[in-house]
Copies of this chain bind each other. A is one copy, B any other.
Amino acid sequence: MLRTHTCGELTIKNAGEKVTLCGWIQRSRDLGGMTFIDLRDRYGITQLAFNMDGNAALCEKARTLGREFVLQTSGTVIERSNKNPKMPTGDIEILVENIIVLNESKLPPFTIEDNSDGGEELRMKYRYLDLRRTVVKKNLELRHKLSAETRNYLNSQNFIEVETPYLIKSTPEGARDFVVPSRMNQGEFYALPQSPQTFKQLLMIAGYDRYYQLVRCFRDEDLRADRQPEFTQIDCEMSFITQEDILNTFEGLAKHLFTTVINYPVKEFPRISYADAMKLYGSDKPDIRFGMKFVELNTVVKGKNFKVFDDAELVVGICAEGCGEYSRKQLDELTEFVKRPQIGANGLVYVKYNSDGTLKSSVDKFYNEEELKKWAEAFNAKPGDLLLVLAGKEEKTRKALCELRLEIGNRLGFRKSNVFAPLWVIDFPLLEWDEETNRFYAKHHPFTSPKPEDIPMLDTNPVDVRANAYDLVINGVEIGGGSIRIYDKELQKKMFKTLGFTDELAQSQFGYLMNAFEYGAPPHGGIAFGVDRWCAVFGGSESIRDFIAFPKNNAGRDVMADAPSVLSQQQLDELNLILKQKA
């Protein structure tokens, strides 16, 4: 090794030792008689001291070295006169006897500090410099820890990690595949997996009974802020289990990660049905770090000649505790908030429950104090609270109120990134109707089992059929989801039929899975978690990109390596491909 110690480990106990360190120059300070250099490596920062009186030549040399130069340096550990209690190495410094410049560095295009002066695009272009920043390094360390502890836990529970192929068969169902032209089988293409779904089900049929894999998945979608074309899943499947067993097993995993990765022990996870989540929070991934549940007011408010409410499918509100003193300006802000096009409410009705017990609303014309009292009772409100009410079409109104609830939660400080509230959302609908293509799609995927008691409804009212499907939600973010699978070939056929697959299409797409069902498929089910997103939630960030070493931008480009890029004509010829000219 070119070093005897790292830059993060020397303390007063090492005083007097001769050491050799390697690292990068974080900063240097020339104080005339003394020069100091902060040397940084993966483990920390250690101060190097150079004394003009002791060794003028070496001190002069040190002064010529720029930021991010790579040094190998030897010297003696000494106690600092000016200790820095904020640094683990802050009690000591190295009285340097020798420096070797291992490599020089141009001045970096942005500062290598937690609060860098570099914009995102610049930092992405020089990602290798961005990765030197402590905040980014901590994110990758968190990711490493989360992956390692996931494996520790699942290995201890007798799960076997099995690698499934990345060059697979393309299936048009679901999101768009990335495809890979085959040179050896001309005119044919592999697809990159959107998930190892069929393979893990085949492993269950093969008897592996507890499978997992940390696996890359690919989706060729138009990217939004929080999407990447490639992402990592903790992919799991079990046999001879019920839904209850899956929830318990993976609640165990989640608790293990809470404890070992972020030292935040959590109690039993609450469970809520999809129907209740929509009713109480207007979302299938409610943030339950705070309450503020929806209260429906149709029976309380209708029939008082307020046309907006009388005509509404749904009148629903929340009680913002302690916000009764909100100013006109604050209330206007909230009204503007719900009227933004992304949210799309027509307006916001409020009732202030003043601390003196009186009530003041934006609809005093239609509702007298006695009537408003009834509203307050419905909300279980108390003096000092603020009632916020929306009205309109049911689904849209719930969604708008969901956004308003989260906004109020933010304003009241209920959504701290270091507080965590996990929950299970269960009993998802099996199907969703798509107006555009005029057919049902599987809400989860075509292999999800309906609840046995709902199967008869597949023929009568499919939209009401509930699935044995579940999501793990933390702080309003969907961390993972899964389902109990169909293992009966007749039910699977019925499901394909409901989804509008002809027998031929089902056979050509999933024939090998359907065949496998002929040879003794066990009852099975599973779940998959998004590693990037789980890391982001644990790390208190909104962006999964912060937790990916080399992410793509929103156009799917790696701006550092400049990929994708054009191929040589020879490459295209070998693949027998012609590019269509741009229109």
Contacts and interface: CB of A to CB of B under 8 A. Distances in A.
Nearest to A561: B169
Interface in A373-398: none
Interface string A1-23: 11100000000000000000011
A303 interface: no
B520 A68 contact: yes
Interface string A163-206: 11111111010001111111111111111100000110011011
A31 interface: no
A141 B216 CA distance: 21
Nearest to A141: B160
A250 interface: no
B216 A166 contact: yes
Contact residues of A: prevailing secondary structure: loop
A545 interface: no
A578 B564 CA distance: 19
Interface string A507-545: 000011000101111110000000000000000000000
A40 B522 CA distance: 12
Given A169-B565, A179-B567, A189-B564, 8 more contacts: A68-B519, A102-B487, A106-B518, A131-B207, A184-B222, A185-B556, A191-B563, A576-B582
A444 interface: no
A129 interface: yes
A321 interface: no
A522 B104 CA distance: 10
A420 to B, nearest CB: 24
A220 interface: yes
Contacts of A242: 1-2
B22 A558 contact: no
Interface string A472-516: 000000000000000110000000000000000000000110001
A170 B186 CA distance: 20
A571 B206 contact: no
Interface in A315-366: none
Contacts of A565: 169-170, 188-189
Contacts of A189: 564-567
Interface stretch (A47-55, A265-273, A547-555): A547-555
Interface of A: 1-3, 22-24, 40-42, 68-70, 72, 102-106, 108, 126-129, 131-132, 137, 140-141, 143-144, 147-148, 151, 155, 160-170, 172, 176-192, 198-199, 202-203, 205-210, 216, 218, 220, 222-223, 229-230, 232, 239-242, 245, 487-488, 511-512, 516, 518-523, 548-550, 552, 555-558, 560-568, 571, 574-580, 582
A564 B548 CA distance: 30
Given A241-B2, A521-B103, A522-B102, A163 B209 contact: no
Contact of A218 (B166, B170, B199, B520): B166
Contacts of A229: 167
A561 B190 CA distance: 11
Nearest to A23: B207
A566 B230 CA distance: 23
Contact of A207 (B42, B103, B199, B521): B42
A160 B160 CA distance: 22
Given A128-B206, A140-B160, A207-B41, A566 B176 contact: no
A579 B189 CA distance: 11
A182 B181 CA distance: 12
6 contacts: A132-B207, A151-B151, A180-B564, A184-B220, A185-B556, A190-B563
A160 B144 contact: yes
Contacts of A180: 178-180, 192, 564
B580 A579 contact: no
Contacts of A2: 240-242, 523
A313 to B, nearest CB: 37
A520 B104 contact: yes
Residue from A245, A560, A576 whose CB has the most chain B CB atoms within 10 Å: A560
B202 A519 contact: no
Given A179-B571, A516-B128, A520-B24, A232 B70 contact: no
Contacts of A183: 176, 220
Contact of A42 (B104, B127, B179, B209): B209
Contact of A519 (B106, B172, B564): B106
A193 to B, nearest CB: 11
A203 B550 CA distance: 10
